[in-house]
Amino acid sequence: MADTRIKDAEPPALLKLQVNEPHAVAGHAVEGKAPAAIREFLNKRGSGAAGDGAFGALVLACALSILGIVVLILFVLIQQSKLSLHAFGLKFFITSAWDPVMGDFGALPFIYGTLVTSFLALCIAVPLALCVAIFIMEICPKPLRGPVAFLTELLAAIPSVVYGLWAVFVLVPIMRDHLGPFLVKFFGWTGLFSGTNFGEGLLTASIILSIMILPVISSITREVMGAVPVSQKEGVLALGATRWEMIRIAVLRNARVGIVGGVILGLGRALGETMAVTMVIGNHPDIAKSLFAPGYTLASVIANEFTEATGDLYLSALIEIGLALFLVTVVVNTIARLLVWFVTRNSAREAR
Amino acid sequence: MKLKLMGLVATVAFGALSAGAQSLNGAGATFPNPIYSKWFAEYAASHPGVQINYQSVGSGAGIRQASQGIVDFGASDGPMTDQQMSEAKVKLFHIPTVLGAVVPTYNIPGVNAELKFSGDIIADIYLGKITNWNDARIKAINPGVNLPDHQILPVYRSDGSGTTYIFTDYLSKVSSDFQQKVGKSTSVRWPVGIGQKGNEGVAGMVRNSPYSFGYVELIYAVQNHMSFGVVKNAAGKFVKASTDSVTAAAAGAAAHMPDDFRVSITNAPGAEAYPISSFTWLLIPLQSADPKKGEVLKDFLKWMLANGEQQAPALTYAPLPKNVALKVAGAINYLK
C-alpha cells in the first residue's frame, strides 16, 4: 500500500539515491570542517558510520532473503515434480486429461479455470471497487466517510472459508433460482449461459472471488486518490470543470498507475484463492464455454487431492500443478506490470 | 498447499524427534480417527508410560510415511497395492480394525419414500447414462414411488478419500463399464457431476440442491440423521446400511480372506450383507526397527481385539465379526 503511494508522490529513482547517499555525504562533512552541532550530538549518542553500515547490511539481507525464498520455492517445485516433468514434458500444460486411476495427467482444465475465474472476478470487482473508492473519497459526506471505509476494509478481514460457507448457503441458491434464469433470459444468446444451471460453477466462483478482492482494490485506490494534491483538483474546478470532470481529469488520471497496482494485487489474491472457490466451483476438470458449467482451479485441485494422493507419479503431478500455478502467477503479473510500464511511458511522453 | 506441506514437514519432524522408548507415532486415515483416538487414549491410561500419537493426515500420506519408516505405524482405508508393497522400505502388514460403509443419499422434492438402488443403476448415474429420475430402471425397482421427470445432479467427493475408494471399488465390481471408464481410486475422473469437499460438502450440496444424488459415509449419515437409500446386495436382497449389516458383509467375506488381510469386501456374499462396506486397516511393520516398539504394538493389537472392539458400535463403527477377529489374533503372533 505504502509502496504505491510513494511511487506516485515522488519519482522512485530519486528515492533510491536518497537512501544510499546520506552516509557518504556525512563522511565528507566530517572531513571538511568542524561538524555541525547536530552531528556532534548524534556522534555523542554513539550512532555513526558503523551503525549505518550494519543497518544497510541488515536491510540488504532481508531484501535478498525474499529473492532466496522465491528461488527455493521454484527449486523445490521443479525437483519434486521431476517424475511428472519427465513423464509428460511440456505436454502437461496443454493436455486436459486428469485421471489418477490411469496415471494420465494434464493441467489445462485447471489453468483454464484459474484464468477464467480470476479475470471474470476482476471484470466484476474493478468497476465496483473504483466506484466505492470514488464515493468514499469525493462524494460521501465527511462524517460517513470513516464508517463506510471501515466496512469495506472489514470485508478483507473475513476468512475465506466463511466466504465459502456464505456462498454455499446464500449465493448458490440465488444463482440457481434467480440470477441464473435472469442471465439465460437476457444474455442466453451469447452462449455463455447455456447448459443446466446447478447454482455452482465458474460464474458463482467468480462472483465470490470478486467480493473477496474488492476491498483490496478499493482500499488501495482510495489511498492513491487521497495522494492527489488538492491544488490540482481545485485548479481543474477553477477552470470550470464539473465534479465528474474533476474526478475524471484530476483524480483518476493522476491515480491511474496506483489503481493498476491495486488491481494487480487483487488479481494475485484471485489467482491463489483456494477454500472459497473449492466450495462453489463444482470441482470438475472440464473446459466448458458455459459459465454455468462446473470447473476446477489449480489451487483447488492441490487442496483437494494432495493428502490422499497415492503413488509417486500422482503426487509429482500435483506438485507440478503447484509449479503451473507459480508460472501462471508470474506470467500474469509480468503482463500486468508491462501494461503499467507502457501506460506510464506514453503518458510521460504526452506530458513532455 | 503451503499449509499442507508445512503439516507434512511438521509430522516428519515430530516423528523423527520423539524417539522415546515408549512413545509411538502413527499417521493415516481420517475415517477411523475418532475411534483410534479413543483407543489410544484408553490404552495409554491403562498402560502407564506408553503413549501412542496418531495424526489423521489421510490414507495416502499414512501409507507413504509408514512405508518410509517416518512413523512407527500407518493406517489406511484402502489396502496398499502390490506395487506399493514391493516399493515400501519398511515391509508392512495389514491389520483390519473396524468397518465402514458408504450410503447413497438424495434429495427429490415430493418423494419421502426410502428409495431402492442397485449397483448398476448407481454406476450408470455417475457415468451419465441415467440422467433422469424418471428413468425406467429406477422406476422398475421402486414401484409405487412417483418419481419426477427431472434431471439428476450427481454429486461426488472432490477431495481424495477412502469413501470414494470404497464407493468406486464397489461400482467397478458391479459394472464393467464403470471399471473401464472410471476405475477405483481415492480420487477418480468422474464423467459427470459436481464435486464437493468432504462428507459435509457432499451432504450440504445434496440437502440444498433439489434432484441431486450423492454418497456419504454411513457414520456421517447416522450422526447427522440423514435419510439414505437401500442398496441391492450380491444375494439380490435390498439391505439398509447399519453396523450389523456391515459386520455381516465382513463375515460373509471372511471365508475367502487372504492371509495378509488385503481384501475388498464390497459386494460381499450373504443375504444380510450390505454391499458397499470395507475394512479399515492399521499398517504395522512386519519387523519394527525398535523391538520395544514392536512389543508395544503387538500388545496394543491384542488389547484392541479384547477390549477395543466392544466400543465400536457406540461410535457407529461396525466391529470385526468373530471369525475375522480370531484370524487377526493368530496373525499378530507373527509380528516382530
The DSSP letter of residue B336 is -
Residue B11: pLDDT band by 50, 70, 90 thresholds? very low
Distance (Å) of CA B44 to CA A26, A273, B33, B210, B311: 69, 41, 16, 48, 16
CB atoms within 10 A of CB B258: 9
Tell the burial category of A79 from Cβ atoms under 10 Å away from its Cβ (0-12, 13-18, 19+): exposed
Q: How far is CA A303 from CA A312, A324, B5, B89, B127, in A?
A: 17, 15, 11, 28, 25
Residue B27 one-letter amino acid: A
The angle formed by the CA atoms of residues A293, A298 and A299, to the nearest 5 degrees, is 110
**Measured CA distances, A113 to A33, A81, A107, A201, A281 (Å):** 68, 21, 10, 10, 9
Q: Angle CA(A232)–CA(A238)–CA(A243) in degrees, nearest 5?
A: 80
Q: What angle do CA B86, B90, B92 make, to 5 degrees?
A: 75
Rounded Cα gap, residues A312 and A327, in angstroms: 22
Query: Nearest Cα to A187, choosing from A292, A91, A90?
Result: A292
- Which of B6, B159, B161, B199 to mutate against chain A (most A CBs within 10 Å)? B159
Question: Cβ separation of B196 and A283 shorter than 8 Å?
Answer: yes
Domain assignment present for A343:
yes
User: Whose CA is closest to A292, among A125, A172, A209, A170?
Assistant: A172
Decide if A282 and B58 are in contact by the 8 Å CB cutoff.
no
Q: Where in chain B is the domain with CATH 3.40.190.10?
A: 24-99+276-332, 101-252
Nearest to B159 among A274, A299, A308 (CB): A308
Residue with cell 457407529: B316
Query: Is pLDDT larger for residue B15 or for residue A72?
Result: A72
Q: Is residue A34 part of a domain?
A: no
Write the residue in B4, B81, B190 that is nearest to A306 by C-beta: B4
**What residues of chain B, 80 to 109, have a C-beta less than 8 Å from chain A?**
81, 83-84
Task: Count up the domains in chain A and report the number.
Answer: 1
Minimum CA–CA partner of A103 in chain B: B188
- Interface list for B 8-27 with A (CB within 8 A): none
The complex's ipTM works out to: 0.79
Q: Is the Cβ pair A310, B186 closer than 8 Å?
A: yes
Handedness of CA B158, B162, B165, B168 (dihedral sign): negative
- The single residue listed with the C-alpha cell 447427522 is B224
pLDDT tens series, chain A, 352 aa: 344 444 444 444 434 444 444 444 444 444 556 668 887 777 777 666 777 888 999 999 999 999 999 999 999 999 999 999 999 988 999 998 899 888 899 999 999 999 999 999 999 999 999 999 999 988 889 899 889 889 988 988 999 999 999 999 999 999 999 999 999 888 888 888 888 888 899 999 999 999 999 999 999 999 999 889 999 999 999 999 999 999 998 898 888 888 988 999 899 999 999 999 999 999 999 898 899 999 999 999 999 988 778 778 999 999 999 999 999 999 998 988 888 788 777 665 655 5
Domain that holds residue A174: 62-351
Residues of chain A with C-beta less than 8 angstroms from the C-beta of B197: 278-279, 283, 303-304
How far are the Cα atoms of A6, A232, A248, A259 from residue A255, in angstroms, in the given order? Answer: 12, 12, 10, 6
At residue B17 the predicted structure's pLDDT band, cuts being 50, 70 and 90, is very low
Question: Residue A165 maps to which CATH number?
Answer: 1.10.3720.10
State the angle between helix axes of A2-9 and A12-20 in degrees (0 to 180), rounded to the nearest 10: 100
8 Å CB contact of B209 and A294: no
Q: Does residue A18 sit in helix, strand or coil?
A: helix
Q: Residue A281 falls within a domain, yes or no?
A: yes
> Which chain B residues touch A305 with a CB distance below 8 Å?
159-160, 187
Answer for the pair A206, A128: CB distance below 8 angstroms, yes or no: no
Note the pTM of the prediction, 2 decimals: 0.81
- CA dist B323 and B250 (Å) reads 9
Residues A214 and B299: their CA atoms lie apart, in Å, by: 58
For residue B13, name the pLDDT band (cuts at 50, 70, 90): very low
Under an 8 A CB cutoff, do A99 and B196 touch? no
Put simply, the answer to whether A310 touches B188 (Cβ < 8 Å) is no
Smallest Cβ–Cβ distance between A199 and the set B61, B186, B209 belongs to B209
Is B101-252 CATH 3.40.190.10? yes
pLDDT in tens, B301-323: 999 999 999 989 888 899 999 88
B196: its cell numbers = 464437493
Phi (first) and psi of residue B272, to 5 degrees: -95, -5
Q: A100, B153: Cβ pair inside 8 Å?
A: no
Q: Which of B4, B187, B208 sits opposite A100 (nearest CB)?
A: B187
Residue A188 confidence (pLDDT) = 85
The span from the CA of B195 to the CA of A297, in Å, is 12
Would an 8 Å CB–CB cutoff place B207 in contact with chain A?
A: no
Asked if A173 lies within 8 A of B208 by C-beta distance, the reply is: yes
Q: Per the domain annotation, does A76 fall within a domain?
A: yes
Partners of B23 in the β-ladder: B51
- CB contacts under 8 A, A 281-320 vs B, are 282-285, 294, 296, 299-300, 302-311, 315
AA identity, residue B137: R
- Give B196's strand partners: B157
Q: Which of A5-14, B178-187, B190-199, B228-237 has the lowest mean pLDDT?
A: A5-14
How many angstroms separate the Cα of B200 from the Cα of each of A168, A305, B157, B203, B227?
12, 16, 10, 5, 14
Strand partners, B27: B55, B74
Cell numbers at residue A197, please? 444451471
Q: How confident is the model at residue B253 (pLDDT cuts 50, 70, 90)?
A: confident
Q: Which residues of chain A make contact with B196, given a CB cutoff of 8 A?
A: 279, 283
Amino acid symbol at A219: S
DSSP for B199-246 reads HHHHHHHHHHSTTEEEEEEHHHHHHTT----EEE-TTS-EE---HHHH
CB-closest option in B64, B183, B195 to A282: B195
Please report the sign of the dihedral spanned by the C-alpha atoms of residue A95, residue A96, residue A102, residue A105: positive
Question: What pLDDT, on a 0 to 100 scale, did the predictor assign at position B92?
Answer: 92
pLDDT score of A349: 60
Please report whether residue A30 resides in a domain: no
Long-range contacts of A328-336 (CB under 8 A, 24+ apart): A328/A111, A328/A114, A328/A115, A328/A271, A328/A298, A329/A268, A329/A271, A329/A272, A332/A115, A332/A118, A332/A267, A332/A271, A333/A264, A333/A267, A333/A268, A336/A260, A336/A263, A336/A264, A336/A267
Q: Which long-range contacts (CB under 8 A, 24 or more apart) does B256-265 make?
A: B257/B324, B257/B327, B259/B331, B260/B93, B260/B94, B261/B79, B261/B94, B261/B95, B261/B96, B261/B327, B261/B328, B261/B331, B262/B79, B262/B80, B262/B94, B263/B79, B264/B79, B264/B169, B264/B173, B265/B99
Angle at A181 (CA atoms; ends A194, A213), nearest 5 degrees: 85
Distance from the Cα of A204 to chain B's closest Cα (Å) equals: 13
Confidence at residue B113, expressed as pLDDT on a 0 to 100 scale = 85
Residue B244, by phi and psi: left (phi above 0), alpha (psi -120 to 50) or beta? alpha
Distance from CA of residue B326 to its chain's centroid? 22
Task: Write down the architecture of domain B24-99+276-332 according to CATH.
Answer: 3-Layer(aba) Sandwich (3.40)
Cα A36 to Cα A34: distance, rounded to the nearest angstrom: 7
Residue A317 forms part of a structural domain: yes
SS3 (DSSP) at B320: coil
Taking residue B30's Cβ as centre, other Cβ atoms within 10 Å add up to 20
The pLDDT assigned to A47 comes to 64
Contact of B151 with chain A, judged by CB distance below 8 Å, is answered with yes
Residue A38, domain member (yes or no): no
Chain B residues 221-260 within an 8 A CB cutoff of chain A: none
Average pLDDT on B276-294 reads 90
- In chain B, DSSP finds a helix count (H) and a strand count (E) of 14, 12
Question: What would the pLDDT profile of B133-164 be if each residue is shown by its tens digit?
Answer: 999 999 999 998 989 999 999 999 998 888 99
Q: List the beta bridge partners of residue B116.
A: B230
Is residue B175 a contact partner of residue B119, using CB atoms and an 8 Å limit? yes
- What is the least distance, in Å, from the CA of B226 to any CA of chain A? 18
| CA Rg value for chain A | 26
State which residue of chain A sits closest to B179, comparing Cα positions. Answer: A101
